[in-house]
Amino acid sequence: DRKNTPSPPKTMTTCFFPEYPWDKSCLKSMPVDLQQFKNLDAYALKVNVKSSVEELVTALLKKARTDLEKVRVIWMWICHHIEYDIVGYHNKSQRSSDPKDVLQMGKSVCEGYAKLFEQMCSIAGIQCKQLSGHAKGYGYKPGQTFTGDSDHAWNAVYLEGRWHLLDSTWGSGSVDDAFTEFTYRYNEFYFLTHPALFINSHFPDNSNWQLLKPTLTLKEFENNMLHKSSFYTLGLLASHPETPIIQTVNGKASVSVDCRSNMLFMFKLKGTDEHGLMTLKKHGMNLDIYPQKTGSHKLEIFAKPSKAEAADDVYNCVLEYIVECKSVDRTTRFPRDLHQPVGPSWFSERQGFLRPSQREPIIHTNDGRCCLTFTLGKDISVLSSLHCDGSSLAEDRGRQHVLQTHHGNQIELKIHLPHAGRFVLKIYSKKRSDPGSYDYVFNYLITCPNTEVKWPAFPQRYSKWMEDYEILEPLSGLLPANRNVQFKLKMHGIAKVLVQAKNTYTLTHNRGCWEGTCNTSGCREVVVMVHENANHSFYSHVLKYEVETQ
Cβ–Cβ < 8 Å for 154, 112:
no
> Across the strands, what pairs with 164?
157
Q: Is 152 a catalytic residue?
A: yes
Angle at 126 between CA 121 and CA 130, to 5 degrees: 55
Task: Give the integer Cα–Cα distance in Å for 510 and 508.
Answer: 6
Question: CB neighbours (10 Å) of residue 425?
Answer: 22
φ, ψ of residue 33 to 5 degrees: the values are: -105, 105
- Which letter does DSSP use for residue 474 in this model? -
**Which of these is catalytic: 41, 81, 85, 110?**
110
Task: Give the integer Cα–Cα distance in Å for 192 and 167.
Answer: 9
> Is 193 strand, coil or helix?
strand
Question: CB neighbours (10 Å) of residue 357?
Answer: 14
Interhelix angle for 67-81 vs 38-46, to 10°?
50
Cβ–Cβ < 8 Å for 336, 425:
no
> Across the strands, what pairs with 546?
478, 525
Residue 231: closest CA among 173, 165, 317: 317
Cβ–Cβ < 8 Å for 476, 509:
no
Task: Give the integer Cα–Cα distance in Å for 4 and 21.
Answer: 29
**Helix and strand tally (H, E) in the chain?**
13, 34
CB half-sphere exposure, 189, CA atoms < 13 A: 18
Q: Is 121 a catalytic residue?
A: no
Task: Give the integer Cα–Cα distance in Å for 406 and 90.
Answer: 67
Cβ–Cβ < 8 Å for 124, 57:
yes
**Which of these is catalytic: 80, 152, 164, 416?**
152
**Which of these is catalytic: 41, 85, 167, 273?**
167
Q: Is 513 a catalytic residue?
A: no
Task: Give the integer Cα–Cα distance in Å for 113 and 115.
Answer: 6
Residues ≥6 apart with Cβ < 8 Å to 379 = 431, 432, 433
Task: Give the integer Cα–Cα distance in Å for 197 and 219.
Answer: 17
Residues ≥6 apart with Cβ < 8 Å to 397 = 418, 457
**Radius of gyration in angstroms for the set of CA atoms belonging to the chain, rounded to a whole number:** 33
Q: Which residues are catalytic?
A: 110, 152, 167
